[in-house]
Chain A
Amino acid sequence: MILIFTEIADGAIKKSSLEAIYYGSKVAEMMGTNSTVLAIGNADEAELAKAGNFGATKVLHANDTKLTNPNSMAYASVLAETVKSIGAKVVITAKSSFADAVTARAAGALKAAVVGNVTELPDLSNGFQVKVSIFTGKAFADVNVNGDVKILAIKKNVVAPIESGNSAAVQNISPALADNLFAAKVTETIKATGMISLPEADLVVSGGRGMKGPENWQPLLDLADALGAATACSKPVSDLDWRPHHEHVGQTGVKVSPNLYIACGISGAIQHLAGVNSSKVLVVINKDPEAPFFKAADYGIVGDVFEVLPKLTKAVLANK
């Protein structure tokens, strides 16, 4: 049995989790077994049934009110109990820092092998082998995963789901929740509202020091808005507090793998490239033709970002 751990946002399964469901159902097919989805927290039953569209037959929904706010320790306890109760041998999740926190504790409880940043379906011809991205995207490793329970965290865009039109049966579960899982108190949550989530985004527009100051971000925001893209930035920009830290993309920031990454005024230091090199298409706009980022790019424009960005926004809006 394959179990897919999913994340919920606004009552529905997140897009990255739908990819994980599709990936999990493919692994189930390869192993001649079924896939079950675990959804924790407040979610709409009709939304959860959509897991069927991505290949799952069943959704287990734990919606105890104690689980409404994401709590990695409580979620991990539910995950580990579910793995045991349904006898799952493989757990799939979309890679995210919350999912990492959850699967880590579940792995500790289950003595499970955990592999992160999986980039392909497993090779089952000789044991259980997966390809993982290592050194922040600079290389790959083919890893043999042993252990009775295996947990795989997949990267975004590893599979392109084909929707079946099926619907999954949703069953409520009420796992036991020990009091000590809720020992920490969240006193404040500060979250940007109305923004497209960076790790989930298909399109990303990112700015570097070439934007020359936080007051100059509007042309970049306009393009992101026109495209429906998330916004990101380089490390110096977040260090200088021009943009919030959660937008920082790179070796020590968020790693993204969108369909399109547009870099504006970013020279392309190796540490920045590490966070974006698994993007499908990279566009670089920089006034310096020698910027190293052009070597990694698919499309390049040598020019002033403040002249180029409005032209791009205009073209996007005209094409709509």
Chain B
Amino acid sequence: MKILVCISSVPDTTSKISFTDGDTKLNKAGVTYIIGPYDDYALARAVELKEQTGAIITVLNVGGADAEPQIRKALAIGADDAIRVDVEPTDSYFVAEQIAAVAKEGNYDLILMGRETSDYNSGVVHGIVGEMLGIPSFSPVMQLDLNGNEVNMTREIEGGKEKLIASLPLVLGCQEPIAEWKIPNMRGIMTARTKPLKVIPAAGSALTTTEKYSLPAPKGACKMIPAEEAEKLIELLKTEAKVL
């Protein structure tokens, strides 16, 4: 059993976002990078499946060398080895192309990643990878259990959820509560230093380029309504904000 877990390296969800170089680059000063929150759930579930089945976990990142602390963290949490495709992850198709190339080479039974990255929130990489490999893909998966070659899943749908049965190999986009995030222990951190991390070049070329970034217009002041006159809010929403 071989599991490939794809992780993104993204700014911490509490980060204040700003830009430099005439709004053409993300300002990385003071920004802490983390494993993508959804990818972290995928990794945590993979480690649990490893404990149950003895699976081998390879962690994959498409990104620059500055993502290596996040890759080492994934190794400390329980992945066995790592691959980094040395290129900026510009667009979904391009990233999926890199993942599919690694996946073809490694013959994985299960390819897990987050439902989306928390920077571009597109949520399509898993599906593109599935199509490129000619295997089924599902997202967002909130429960995952293996029974030999058979996979039992719960997927979130609009207004509810559905239970699914499919067979390996599969590509899955994961979200909570598939597993609880794992914190690496000291032994994990020590062994992670010597686990293999292979850096390989990218294939293909990006389909998008970003010209410029911008921030939303600042909000005006909040209009306060005294609690004892709360009903006035409804009037204001009708006549002033015109949303009712």
Please give the residue numbers on chain A whose beta carbons come within 8 Å of chain B beta carbons, in ascending order: 72-73, 76, 96-98, 100-109, 111-117, 129, 132-147, 153, 183-192, 195, 197-200, 202-203, 227, 244-246, 251-252, 255, 259-260, 270-271, 274, 277, 280-281, 283-284, 294-304, 307-308, 311-312, 314-316, 319
CA distance A49 to B157 in the complex (A): 27
Q: Contact between A191 and B157 (Cβ–Cβ < 8 Å)?
A: yes
Given contacts A105-B130, A187-B165, A312-B233, 19 further A-B contacts (CB under 8 A): A72-B137, A101-B137, A117-B121, A134-B121, A135-B119, A139-B215, A142-B210, A143-B209, A189-B160, A192-B159, A244-B160, A245-B176, A252-B13, A270-B14, A271-B13, A300-B225, A301-B225, A308-B230, A315-B234
B220 partner residues in chain A, CB cutoff 8 A: 298
Closest Cβ–Cβ distance, residue A212 to chain B (whole Å): 17
B238 at the interface (CB under 8 A from A): yes
Q: Which residue of A lies closest to B219 (CB)?
A: A296
Q: Contact between B123 and A97 (Cβ–Cβ < 8 Å)?
A: yes
CA distance A310 to B241 in the complex (A): 21
B127 partner residues in chain A, CB cutoff 8 A: 72, 76, 100-105, 107-108
In the assembled complex, 9 residue pairs joining A and B whose CB atoms fall closer than 8 Å, in A order, are A104-B131, A138-B17, A140-B216, A143-B209, A146-B207, A183-B136, A187-B163, A191-B160, A316-B244
A136 partner residues in chain B, CB cutoff 8 A: 118, 121
State the main secondary structure of chain A at its contact with B. Answer: mixed
Interface residues of B in 38-66 (CB under 8 A from A): 38
CA distance A115 to B237 in the complex (A): 34
Interface residues of B in 1-57 (CB under 8 A from A): 11, 13-14, 17, 19, 37-38
Q: Please pick, from A147, A184, A252, A274, the residue contacting B138 in the complex, using a CB distance under 8 A.
A: A184
Q: Contact between B160 and A190 (Cβ–Cβ < 8 Å)?
A: yes
Q: Contact between A303 and B230 (Cβ–Cβ < 8 Å)?
A: yes
A299 partner residues in chain B, CB cutoff 8 A: 222-225, 233, 236-237, 241
User: What string of 1s and 0s marks CB contacts (under 8 Å) between B206-244 and chain A?
Assistant: 011111111110011011111110110111111001011
A311 partner residues in chain B, CB cutoff 8 A: 230-231
Q: Contact between A184 and B164 (Cβ–Cβ < 8 Å)?
A: yes
Contacts A97-B115, A308-B230, A312-B234 given: A190-B138 contact, CB under 8 Å? no
A274 partner residues in chain B, CB cutoff 8 A: 13
B75 at the interface (CB under 8 A from A): no
Q: Contact between A135 and B222 (Cβ–Cβ < 8 Å)?
A: no
Closest Cβ–Cβ distance, residue B61 to chain A (whole Å): 19
CA distance A298 to B220 in the complex (A): 7
Interface residues of B in 128-186 (CB under 8 A from A): 128-132, 136-140, 142, 156-167, 175-177
Closest Cβ–Cβ distance, residue A165 to chain B (whole Å): 24
Q: Contact between A104 and B225 (Cβ–Cβ < 8 Å)?
A: no
Q: Contact between B122 and A245 (Cβ–Cβ < 8 Å)?
A: no
B227 partner residues in chain A, CB cutoff 8 A: 301-304, 307-308
Q: Contact between A135 and B17 (Cβ–Cβ < 8 Å)?
A: yes
Q: Which residue of B lies closest to A289 (CB)?
A: B224
B96 at the interface (CB under 8 A from A): yes
CA distance A100 to B176 in the complex (A): 18
B225 partner residues in chain A, CB cutoff 8 A: 299-301
CA distance A106 to B209 in the complex (A): 21
CA distance A192 to B17 in the complex (A): 37
Contacts A108-B96, A113-B93, A299-B237 given: A186-B164 contact, CB under 8 Å? yes
CA distance A186 to B155 in the complex (A): 10
Contacts A97-B115, A144-B208 given: A190-B164 contact, CB under 8 Å? no
CA distance A183 to B150 in the complex (A): 12
Q: Contact between B243 and A280 (Cβ–Cβ < 8 Å)?
A: yes
CA distance A13 to B230 in the complex (A): 37
Contacts A260-B244, A270-B14, A277-B216 given: A312-B230 contact, CB under 8 Å? yes
CA distance A226 to B233 in the complex (A): 15
Q: Which residue of B lies closest to A303 (CB)?
A: B227
CA distance A25 to B90 in the complex (A): 28
B209 partner residues in chain A, CB cutoff 8 A: 143-144, 146
B71 at the interface (CB under 8 A from A): no
Q: Contact between B124 and A100 (Cβ–Cβ < 8 Å)?
A: yes
CA distance A200 to B235 in the complex (A): 24
Most chain-B CB neighbours within 10 Å: which of A97, A136, A140, A302? Answer: A97
A153 partner residues in chain B, CB cutoff 8 A: 122
Q: Contact between B136 and A73 (Cβ–Cβ < 8 Å)?
A: yes
B125 at the interface (CB under 8 A from A): yes
Q: Contact between A98 and B158 (Cβ–Cβ < 8 Å)?
A: yes
